[in-house]
Amino acid sequence: MADASVLEKNEDTQNVQDHVDESIYPTSSTTNKGFLQYFFSWGSPNEGKLIAAEKRMMSSSGITDYKSKFVKARFKSSEIYTMTVECKAEDKEPDPIVLMHGFGTGSAIWCNNFHELAAKHDVHAFDLLGFGRSARPNFSSDGTLAELELVETIEDWRKEMGIDKMYLVGHSFGAYIASSYALEHPAHVKYLILADAWGFPEKILPTEKQISPYPWMIFLGSVLAYFNPFTVLRLAGPYARHAMKILRPDMQERFRSERRSDIYDYLYECNALNPTGETAFMSMCLPYGWAKRPMIRRFNGIDENIPATFIFGSKSWVDPGPAFDIQMLRNDVDVQIVRGAGHHIYADMPEEFNRIVLEATNYSPESHNNDDKEQQ
């Protein structure tokens, strides 16, 4: 590991608690500062709250000995925030499990998975550049270039971490970028695990049998296409947390913490910062969230020696069809449907998700071929 290139940052959160307890509503002292000053600080992010929520989420999941640091990437001299849970077993495996979060989240979202996955492997999770606590550089406005910029920062991260091969686990948008990484750097991917992967299907063309949307819906969709997905969240400022609690009360059950609001604080603060990752994501999208470069066109270009497992929630909005199409064309591809899980499988059914990931780490081509013969 190139220690000289890794920036360790002390995270003294002793005083963060006081900031977390402060009211989110304007006080008389705030009013005295003047309306304009208050207006322009309306949606100001609070990194202290982000750090505190992250620590409590990890601690509530029984993870108190994790390490965190910022790792250098060449792209605009950026830093990638990284969390690591080290395996304590004497017979631990040499290749780590690397977790890549989805759109609009960060590494702490894996708090229910770290402990079990670290039974035989070191586990690393990092915030994609432009998201979470990582740097927020501007990416190319060209979607293809923006995708490659993200991929190359992951390769820089791998080198700085001193990793040769890894079990690469990606969720949603993270699964799309993980697949792109495997296309560009196959020598360093031991196994690809893609959870509710975004960006795989081709855009569905309208047909006569489909119900045509109302003109006002088409107009509204065309207007919203010019804005980043979380623009409304940032405009709502501190009230966004309350809106999230009302719209997604289930989140506080999936991510239990000392404070029931921690998951909402975490997600809000992750997305209140300069949204360069969102902008990069939008550059890769067609209207209504279709990928400009669907991964189903490219996935078969991944080295055939890299096995893959697709995981989908039975209640998710993501279509598993492309995964089954890929399975028909490639050996060593498995598709798992987790009953009762939605889009966030790792949080909805963490035990089953962890089991599938660990099963993949025990994979061998011989056992896979034997299973195929038994099914025949």
Backbone phi and psi for residue 82, each to the nearest 5 degrees, phi listed first: -135, 135
SS3 73: strand
What pLDDT is attached to residue 23?
32
Q: In sequence order, which residues have a C-beta less than 8 Å from that of residue 180 and are 6 or more positions away?
A: 147, 148, 150, 151, 295, 298
- The owner of tokens 């509710």 is 196
pLDDT reported for residue 1? 44
State how far the Cα of 251 lies from the Cα of 282, in Å rounded to an integer.
Answer: 25
Strand partners, 337: 312
H or E segment and range at residue 280: helix 276-283
In this prediction, residue 121 carries a pLDDT of 97
Radius of gyration of the chain (CA): 21
Specify whether the CB–CB gap between 97 and 357 falls below 8 A: yes
How far is residue 36's CA from residue 96's CA, in Å, rounded to a whole number? Answer: 50
Q: What residue ranges do the domains of the chain occupy?
A: 40-203+212-375
pLDDT in tens, the chain (376 residues): 444 444 444 444 334 333 333 333 333 333 344 444 433 444 566 788 889 889 999 998 989 889 999 999 999 999 999 999 999 999 999 999 999 999 989 999 999 999 999 999 999 999 999 999 999 999 999 999 999 999 999 999 999 999 999 999 999 999 999 999 999 999 999 999 999 999 999 988 765 545 555 564 444 455 445 555 666 666 666 777 777 777 778 887 788 777 878 888 888 888 888 899 999 999 999 987 899 999 999 999 999 999 999 999 999 999 999 999 999 999 899 999 999 999 999 999 999 999 999 999 997 665 555 554 444 4
Query: Reading across the β-sheet that carries 67-73, which strands appear in turn?
Result: 6-7, 67-73, 78-85, 123-126, 97-100, 166-171, 189-195, 308-313, 333-338
Distance CA 288, CA 198 (A): 13
Q: Which two tokens stand for residue 209?
A: 């049998």
Using CA atoms, how far apart are residues 100 and 82, in angstroms rounded to an integer? Answer: 11
Query: What integer pLDDT is reported at residue 32 of this predicted model?
Result: 42
Joined together, the tokens standing for residue 66 give 């994790």
Q: Which CATH number does 40-203+212-375 carry?
A: 3.40.50.1820
**Residue 18, burial from CB neighbour count under 10 angstroms (0-12, 13-18, 19+):** exposed
Instruction: Locate the DSSP E strands across 33-107.
Output: 67-73, 78-85, 97-100
Q: Tell how far CA 104 is from the center of its chain.
A: 7
Q: How many CB atoms lie within 10 A of CB 43?
A: 17
Burial 260-297 (b: 16+ CB within 10 A, else e): ebbbbbbbbbbbbbebbbbbbbbbbbeeeeebeebbbe
- DSSP state, residue 82: E
